[in-house]
């Protein structure tokens, strides 16, 4: 018979529970990280070069949870929706359109009078992600009055081809 020297002791019930609990936590955190990575994040900051270790897992998860996400093909508009012009051919001091950095595409927009969506009264240049357009003047001067208008955003790909559109109502006020 062999003599027990104390080196063959097995883990107690509490030790086994602690190991299983630790494994469950690690699996849950990895699942959250994989889910967040699959949701697709901003292409400007690729997540492929991040090595996840037990030391940085909580930091990476927290960073991913705090980033704003705009699904590809969608657009988050940041703009004023009432534009004032001193005269029909003046530059507006309050017209503003921003293509937020979180968006996935460059955009341009056309503005139409609500009753005539065939003839644009303003055609913008392409606005890259993270850029803004202000000091806006109409391409077609308008008489004094208040106009209900429709702005049609065009989300474009790298070759400037429209991949989707977004329609937004705005009001244009020409003072004199």
Nearest C-alpha neighbor of 172 from the set 103, 85, 90: 85
50 compared with 44, residue with greater pLDDT: 50
| Domains of the chain with bracketed CATH | 13-66 (no CATH), 77-174 (2.60.40.2550)
pLDDT (tens digit, 9 = 90+) per residue, 62-71?
776 665 554 5
Q: Do 153 and 147 form a contact (C-beta atoms < 8 A)?
A: no
pLDDT at 165: 86
DSSP string over 13-67: HHHHHHHHHHHHHHHHHHHHHHHHHHT---TTS-STTPPP-TTTHHHHHHHHHHS
**Six-digit token pair at 16?**
């086994």
Q: Do 153 and 168 form a contact (C-beta atoms < 8 A)?
A: yes
pLDDT of 46 > 50? The answer is no
Q: Do 68 and 102 form a contact (C-beta atoms < 8 A)?
A: yes
99 compared with 53, residue with greater pLDDT: 99
pLDDT (tens digit, 9 = 90+) per residue, 81-125?
999 999 999 999 899 999 988 888 899 999 999 999 999 999 999
Across 74-87, average pLDDT: 87
Backbone torsions φ then ψ of 138, nearest 5 degrees: -75, 145
Where does the pLDDT of residue 48 fall: very low under 50, low under 70, confident under 90, or very high at 90 and above?
A: very low
> DSSP code of 168?
E
pLDDT (tens digit, 9 = 90+) per residue, 117-171?
999 999 999 999 899 999 999 999 999 999 999 999 999 888 888 888 888 899 9
Burial class of residue 157, CB neighbours in 10 A (0-12, 13-18, 19+): exposed
Residues in a beta bridge with 39: none
Where does the pLDDT of residue 19 fall: very low under 50, low under 70, confident under 90, or very high at 90 and above?
A: confident
Q: Do 83 and 95 form a contact (C-beta atoms < 8 A)?
A: yes
Pairing of β 132-133 and β 116-123:
unpaired
Tokens 């850029």, residue?
131
């Amino acid at each position: 018979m062999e003599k027990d020297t104390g080196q063959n002791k097995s883990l107690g019930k509490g030790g086994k529970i602690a190991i299983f609990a630790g494994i469950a936590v690690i699996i849950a955190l990895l699942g959250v990280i994989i889910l967040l990575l699959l949701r697709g994040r901003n292409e400007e900051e690729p997540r492929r070069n991040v090595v996840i270790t037990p030391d940085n897992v909580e930091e990476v998860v927290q960073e991913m949870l705090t980033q704003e996400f705009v699904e590809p093909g969608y657009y988050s508009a940041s703009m004023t929706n009432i534009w004032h012009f001193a005269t029909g051919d003046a530059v507006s001091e309050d017209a503003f359109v921003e293509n937020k950095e979180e968006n996935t595409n460059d955009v341009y927009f056309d503005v139409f009078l609500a009753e005539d969506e065939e003839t644009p009264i303003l055609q913008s240049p392409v606005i890259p992600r993270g850029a803004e357009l202000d000091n806006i003047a109409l391409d077609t001067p308008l008489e004094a009055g208040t106009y209900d208008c429709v702005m049609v955003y065009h989300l474009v790909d790298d070759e400037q081809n429209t991949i989707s559109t977004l329609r937004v109502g705005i009001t244009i006020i020409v003072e004199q």
